[in-house]
Structure 1
């Protein structure tokens, strides 16, 4: 998957997520403000719970909108071996068993999975432990990450 296509798919995924969350927040708001959900006693908390849910969903929508704006303005840079891995690089790692995975080092949107089958790209950020390790690395460098007390070692085999 090339980076231009990847960026377009990240933007589309974020746009879809914003719309889904917007509708969910609207539904929660309507539930929170519905006349039939006015508390009849101190134990009747449906309206209050819906209000908390609407607030959380509105906050999450704002976060995704910010990520969307960031990706819409992202300048894709080619890999520069002198600088090593930076934001907007597409990285392929291979573990000790020979399994490969593709990661896109993005400014936001950690955890997004773009693609299907063996062409899945996972978005990570420099704030993640793996993202921190990858910044400045080059092809053939090794990265070792402790997960649940076990070292997971991978080799950078390709960077675009």
Structure 2
């Protein structure tokens, strides 16, 4: 797995999120400002609810844009000895062949996003997440235990890029 391939897929996914958020914000804005949103009586709250939705969608656009811009400013060519922000980490299960290897990209934003590269999934985790906290500062060969399907599984750090 090449880090550059993962980064291209993540950037593409973040751009898709931004485009979708912009479309949703435009739809919500149109609903909030249409003639049909004018209240017919004091109990008609459709216009008010539509304006709240439009505001929330606008905030979502800002968040998505921040994530996308942040990913486009980072120098991903740095070499790491320990897990840090912007590292791609591969974990291999110890003593459990039923658990496949896991890939994590430590990111300062967009935590929770997962992207598919071939048959592998790459999970974006922030340093403040539970998985991120367990990985930060570790080196190749270190062991990490993670919960998988309600059971604790021991992994070995195989790659830090």
Superposed pair shares fold, TM > 0.5? yes
Deviation (angstroms), 1:144: 2.9
Alignment partner, residue 115 of structure 1: 116
Q: 1:88 is matched with which residue?
A: 86
Q: Which stretches in structure 1 are left out of the alignment for 5+ residues? A: none
TM-score, normalized by length of structure 2?
0.86
Per-residue CA deviations over 1:6-50 (Å, capped at 9, x if unaligned) read 222211111111111101111101101111111122332221221
Deviation, 1:57, is 1.1
Whole-angstrom distance in 2 between the partners of 1:72 and 1:116: 19
What secondary structure sits across from 1:11 in the alignment? helix
**Change beyond 3 A, Cα 1:116–1:147:** closer
> Which stretch shows the higher mean deviation, 10-19 or 25-34?
10-19
Q: CA RMSD in A?
A: 2.1
Aligned length: 158
TM-score, normalised to structure 1's length?
0.87
Structure 2: tracts of 5 or more residues without a match:
none
Contact persistence 1:77–1:88 (CA under 8 A): no
Instruction: Report matched runs for 1:6-155 at 5 Å.
Output: 6-81=6-81, 84-96=82-94, 97-98=96-97, 99-116=100-117, 118-145=119-146, 151-155=152-156
SS at match of 2:40: coil
